[in-house]
Structure 1
Amino acid sequence: MLVRLRRDGFNAALPFAQLALIVFALRADTGWGSVLALALLLATGLFGWLRSVRHARLILDTPTSRIASAAQGYTELRGRGHPLDGTPVLSPLNGLPLLWYRLSVYRKTSDGKWRHAETRESDASFLLDDGSGVCAVDPEGAEMLVRRRDVSERGDLRQIQWSLLKNDPVYVLGDFFTLGSISPDLDISRQVRELLAHWKSNQPELLKRFDLDGNGSIDLQEWELARAQARREVLRQRDEILTAPEAHVIRKPQQRLYLISDLDPQALARRYRRWSIFHLAVFLGAAGATAWLHQIGVF
């Protein structure tokens, strides 16, 4: 089953680069060319191994949260995908509605080989529903590990699409935050003072509302009425804010892994562990080859 990363997916591109370095090292005309290739293999193998192990641990060590009770910050969510209201995301391959897609286009050259021509990827948000609440998922910057793969081949054009559909299982590991969340420590007195100061800045309107005896000034009793009205308005606005529905969003963190997938966490962790084994094998192989070249006096 083929799983594809987003367009700059590290684990998708690095193995191909490492294989190219191995071929270069074997075919290099000079010993120093082989040494350079091996040095790069050592660096990429070590970095890839550390990165893959770290990501596997993140997936296994981060507990799944419920949207309704999730803490703000780095969070793991699982649920079902749903489209946002409004203009749907349509597949460029067949025109069907999707949650997310990535389309790679290849063209056949005169020598019969397929050459990559372009890649398109949707960036519209979609919803994740886990039964306790709904969270908007921003796919920008995420590593997308998905199983659904559709291929269309017409003449010299081949298109490969990876996609998420409505009601697909969705796993997200990223930065969770809530829009519209309100601190319980609302400073009612400060807000009343600020509202009264705003009213005082417009004297004609203030007199129109609170100068009950029409003498052109606000006396102490009228000012207390104004204060009471300001407090009522502040409390009404507070109640409206507190009863408004909160909007939950998950997006790319500053430094950590941002992952969206239709696989379960255990399968994802196993995939990163297999990558870590591959990168470790590259590192150890490059280290052994470097030691052998040193032994035979290449450098």
Structure 2
Amino acid sequence: MIGLALSVGAMVGGGWWCLRRLAQARRLLDTPTSKIRSAAQGYAEFYGVLQSQPGSVIVAPLSGKPCLWWRFKIEEYQDDDKKRSWRALESGSCESWLLLDDGTGHCLINPRGAEVRPSTREVWQGHLRHPRGPASSGWLGLLGSGKRYRYTEERLHAGQPLYAIGDFRSSGGGRQGLDLSTAQGAVIREWKGDFAGLLQRFDSDNNGQLDQQEWGRVRLAAQLEAEDRHRQQSQRPAQHQLGQPREAAPFILSCAGEDELARQFYWQAAGGAVLCLAGALAAAWLLG
């Protein structure tokens, strides 16, 4: 029964992974590359170069090197009578926004929820739980504790090329239309949060309530306020952002291009298919 359960799990998991990677590869290849300045709102892909943001200083936690984004993992070496292995102790990633420049404009990228594939990856070992740079060697290395640690750090740096695909949104620059009823309702809800102030402005008979005529003035004032806010926002410079899609679509930030990513996904899909087939054959053999 245990063998059958493992076989069925391998068959289902391999099939799911195969179909998922195939769908993601097709989605990457079917999505046209856009320019930030003229991209349509919604799911989009871009090629550009990472730029540093003024006033933003980010330092990788293990190596201490300046960068734009980092991800790390710390493992401890375990050597007992039964097995020797590396056990994960800590891991984490940076959530600072990235700035992409494609020559036509700039786009801020929120990396939360993204599959990030950096080109810079360093792996080294040492005797300290939390290193600050590469581990010391020679006599200095022997002075550390008897434990061995392995550190893995991945980074994104300014000037590196980046392929990005995700949900694209813009604000300002006159690009957003005005949904007057929704904007008016938002203003009224905001005013209701300070109901005393609302009464002070629109309760003309001072009875502590707003009658139908007074509510009409509230709605008219909220409409004018919504239009004025939209006018002010449209006069601001356009701001572009890329984030995680709401639908089940790939959200990828990679220093490798679209074709290389699709090729990797196809190979991973093939591995999932092999695992699915092996699980099916094992299940059939056990049932037989």
User: What is the TM-score normalised by the length of structure 1?
Assistant: 0.69
* CA gap 1:59/1:235 in 2 versus in 1, 3 angstroms: closer
1:289 aligns with 2:279: no
SS at match of 1:279: helix
Task: Return the alpha-carbon distance in structure 1 between the equivalents of residues 227 and 114 of structure 2.
Answer: 41
Residues 83, 127 of structure 1: 8 Å contact kept: yes
Return the offset for 1:238. Answer: 7.2
Unaligned runs of 5+ in 2: 128-147, 188-197, 203-223
SS at match of 2:241: strand
2:132 aligned residue: none
Residue 118 of structure 2, aligned match among 146, 157, 181: 146
Q: Within 5 Å, give how 1:1-299 maps onto structure 2.
A: 32-111=1-80, 113-155=85-127, 156-180=148-172, 182=174, 183=176, 241-254=233-246, 255-295=248-288
Task: Return the alpha-carbon distance in structure 1 between the equivalents of residues 30 and 72 of structure 2.
Answer: 32
Deviations 1:178-224 (Å, cap 9, x if unpaired)? Answer: 1235446798xxx9xx9xxx9xx59xxxxxxxxxxxxxxxxxxxxxx
Residues 166, 252 of structure 2: 8 Å contact kept: yes
Residues 93, 152 of structure 1: 8 Å contact kept: no
Residues 163, 254 of structure 2: 8 Å contact kept: yes
In the alignment, residue 287 of structure 1 is paired with which amino acid?
A: A
Task: Return the alpha-carbon distance in structure 2 between the equivalents of residues 114 and 246 of structure 1.
Answer: 49
1:5 aligned residue: none
In the alignment, residue 149 of structure 1 is paired with which amino acid?
A: R
Deviations 1:16-35 (Å, cap 9, x if unpaired)? Answer: xxxxxxxxxxxxxxxx1111
Task: Return the alpha-carbon distance in structure 2 between the equivalents of residues 175 and 164 of structure 1.
Answer: 21
**More contact order relative to length (CA 8 Å, sep ≥ 6):** 2
Q: How many residues align?
A: 226
Q: Which has the higher helix share?
A: 1
* CA gap 1:79/1:293 in 2 versus in 1, 3 angstroms: same
Deviations 1:60-99 (Å, cap 9, x if unpaired)? Answer: 0001100000111001011001122223221112222211
Return the offset for 1:170. Answer: 0.7
Task: Return the alpha-carbon distance in structure 2 between the equivalents of residues 33 and 238 of structure 1.
Answer: 63
Please identify the structure whose Cα radius of gyration is greater. Answer: 1
Task: Return the alpha-carbon distance in structure 1 between the equivalents of residues 227 and 24 of structure 2.
Answer: 47
SS at match of 1:80: strand
Residues 38, 289 of structure 1: 8 Å contact kept: yes
In the alignment, residue 252 of structure 1 is paired with which amino acid?
A: Q
In the alignment, residue 143 of structure 1 is paired with which amino acid?
A: E
User: What is the TM-score normalised by the length of structure 2?
Assistant: 0.71
Residues 84, 125 of structure 1: 8 Å contact kept: no
SS at match of 1:113: strand
Return the offset for 1:286. Answer: 1.3
SS at match of 2:90: strand
Unaligned runs of 5+ in 1: 1-31, 203-230
SS at match of 1:141: coil
Task: Return the alpha-carbon distance in structure 2 between the equivalents of residues 87 and 108 of structure 1.
Answer: 36
SS at match of 2:152: strand
* CA gap 1:149/1:235 in 2 versus in 1, 3 angstroms: closer
In the alignment, residue 11 of structure 2 is paired with which amino acid?
A: L
